[in-house]
Amino acid sequence: MRDAAVNDKSDIERAFEFPGALKAGILLAALLFLYFPSFADMVGTWRNSEAYSHGFLIPFVSAFLVWRKRKSLQSLSTETYSRGFFMFLAGLVLLLAGSLAFDPFTFRISFLLVLSGLLLIFLGREIFRELAFPIGYLFFMIPLPYIFMKSMAVGMKLTYAKLTYLAVSAAGVPILMEGVCLELPNASLVVGDYCTGVLSIVAITAISTLYAYLSQRTLAGMALLVILAVPLAMLGNMLRLVSTVWLTYIYGPRVLDSAIHKYHGLLNFLITMAFLILLAKGVSVIDSKLAKEVPG
Partner 1 sequence: MKKQDSYFVITLILLLGTGLLVKRIEAGVPVELKKPLESLPLEHGSLYGREAFDMEKNYEAPSADSSLYRTYAESGIPQSVQVYVGYWEEQNKKKKIKLPRYVFDGWGYYRMREKRIASPEWGEVTFNEFLNESGKRRELVYYSFIVNGSVLNNEYMLRLTNMWNAMLHRRNNAAVIRISSFLADDETVEQAENRLEGFLSSFTPVLMHHMDG
Residue 252's φ and ψ, nearest 5 degrees, are 95, 175
CA-based nearest residue to 112, from 139, 85, 131, 133 = 139
Instruction: Candidates 25, 44, 59, 179: give the one binding partner 1 (CB under 8 A).
Output: 179
Instruction: Candidates 102, 257, 259, 296: give the one binding partner 1 (CB under 8 A).
Output: 102
- Piece of the chain touching partner 1 by CB under 8 A; list 113-121, 136-144, 229-237, 281-289: 113-121
d(CA 31, CA 23): 12
Residues in region 31-90 near partner 1 by CB under 8 A = 31, 33-34, 41, 80, 82, 85, 88-89
Contact (CB, 8 A) for 167 and 238:
yes
Instruction: Candidates 161, 226, 229, 245: give the one binding partner 1 (CB under 8 A).
Output: 161
Asked if residue 166 binds partner 1 (CB under 8 A), the reply is no
Chain Cα centroid distance, residue 67: 20
Counting Cα atoms < 13 Å in the Cβ hemisphere of 3 gives 0
Residue 185, classed as helix, strand or coil, is coil
Counting Cα atoms < 13 Å in the Cβ hemisphere of 105 gives 8
Asked if residue 124 binds partner 1 (CB under 8 A), the reply is no
Asked if residue 154 binds partner 1 (CB under 8 A), the reply is yes
Instruction: Candidates 58, 62, 104, 141: give the one binding partner 1 (CB under 8 A).
Output: 104
Nearest distance in Å: CB 5, partner 1: 23
d(CA 278, CA 281): 5
Residue 183's φ and ψ, nearest 5 degrees, are -105, 115
Asked if residue 254 binds partner 1 (CB under 8 A), the reply is no
Instruction: Candidates 59, 192, 231, 253: give the one binding partner 1 (CB under 8 A).
Output: 192
Q: For the chain, what is the largest distance between any 2 Cα atoms, rounded to a whole number of angstroms? A: 87
Instruction: Candidates 109, 119, 121, 138: give the one binding partner 1 (CB under 8 A).
Output: 121
Instruction: Candidates 66, 97, 167, 177: give the one binding partner 1 (CB under 8 A).
Output: 97
Question: From edge to edge, which strands make up the β-sheet containing 188-190?
Answer: 176-178, 181-183, 188-190
Nearer to partner 1, 103 or 288 (CB): 103
Nearest distance in Å: CB 245, partner 1: 15
Chain Cα centroid distance, residue 111: 16
Asked if residue 207 binds partner 1 (CB under 8 A), the reply is no
Can you spell out the DSSP letters for 197-221? THHHHHHHHHHHHHHHHHH-SSHHH
CA-based nearest residue to 245, from 158, 162, 172, 187 = 187
Nearest distance in Å: CB 272, partner 1: 24
Nearer to partner 1, 252 or 282 (CB): 252
Q: By CB under 8 A, name the binding residues for partner 1.
A: 23, 26-27, 30-31, 33-34, 41, 80, 82, 85, 88-89, 92, 95-97, 99-104, 114, 118, 121-122, 146-147, 150, 154, 157-158, 161, 178-181, 183, 188, 190-192
